Amino acid sequence: MKFLPIFFNLSTFDLALPYKENSDNKKKQVAQMFNNISARYDFLNHLLSMGIDKIWRKKAIRLLNNRPVKSLLDIASGTGDFALAGLKLNPEKIIGSDISEGMLNVGVEKIKKKGLQDIISFELGDAEDIKHEDNSFDAITVGFGVRNFEHLEKGLAEMNRVLKPSGQVVILEFSKPRKFPIKQFYNFYFLNILPLIGKLISKDASAYTYLPESVQEFPDGQEFLDIMTQTGYKNVKQYPVSFGIASIYWGEK
């Protein structure tokens, strides 16, 4: 039986929208945005992060090494980079779920080329209404996806529901650096350089303007840890990476 804790409402936490002139809700807009940029997403992602995102994922996966992980659900899986990193845990199955069909199509082809279809599979899915039964997975990963949830608390509660007792979650997400000069460099890059390169290569002017806007509005740090606790996680921890440019959040059911 699905339920949501009564101590939070379902209002949209993050007001940033990819297409402000569009009347669709955030969920539909995010799906459209990722469909639009899916063909160039991997190239842009690694270019704009200078490849450091791969290191962040490896660090996040190492936090799950303290107990066996036979079943792993990768939420907001996109083209499957976090799912692939999860192979280090030697799971029996990994399911990547995403609301963007375009991103998943790229991921499916990537997995086929690597011959990993027997371990990794993909499904079109909504993080706020996960199609799996309660207590289904040993661990859940989310890479740069929770800030795109239309209702953050609902998505986190759903993830908790499908975790097995004592199951773990690792969430990798951008943060807001607060120390000089990283803060100043980060803001200049995110607000000026990244949107320009993203627009030129992806041909979607809104996608890489939305990215810094969504990061600015995301409740990072202790505020996000508090939300994790409110939605059913315990022993929550934050691990800043690269001078606070991003953070890895860990918790267990």
- Residue 184 in any domain: the answer is no
Residue 77 is classified by DSSP as -
- Among 127, 119, 123, smallest CA distance to 148 is for 127
The answer as to whether 42 is a domain residue is: no
The range of the structural domain enclosing residue 137 comes to: 26-37+52-177+219-252
Q: Per-residue confidence at 4, pLDDT binned at 50, 70, 90?
A: very low
Residues 147-159: tens digit of each pLDDT: 999 999 999 999 9
Annotate 134-202 with DSSP letters as a single string. Answer: TT-EEEEEEES-GGG-SSHHHHHHHHHHHEEEEEEEEEEEE----STTHHHHHHHIIIIIHHHHHHHHH
Q: Number of structural domains, the chain?
A: 1
Domain-embedded: residue 201:
no
Any domain includes 17: no
CATH code, domain with 139: 3.40.50.150
Average pLDDT over residues 107-129: 97
pLDDT at 221: 96
CA of 30: how far to CAs of 14, 24, 61, 200, in Å? 12, 10, 26, 19
Q: What does pLDDT average to over the chain?
A: 90
In this structure, is residue 1 part of a structural domain? no
Query: Does residue 64 belong to any structural domain of this protein?
Result: yes
Q: The whole model's pTM is what?
A: 0.90
Residues 214-253: tens digit of each pLDDT: 889 999 999 999 999 999 999 999 999 999 999 999 999 9
What is the predicted pLDDT for the residue at 60? 98
Residue 11 lies in a domain: no
pLDDT at 3: 39
Residue 214, token pair as written in the block: 């969504």
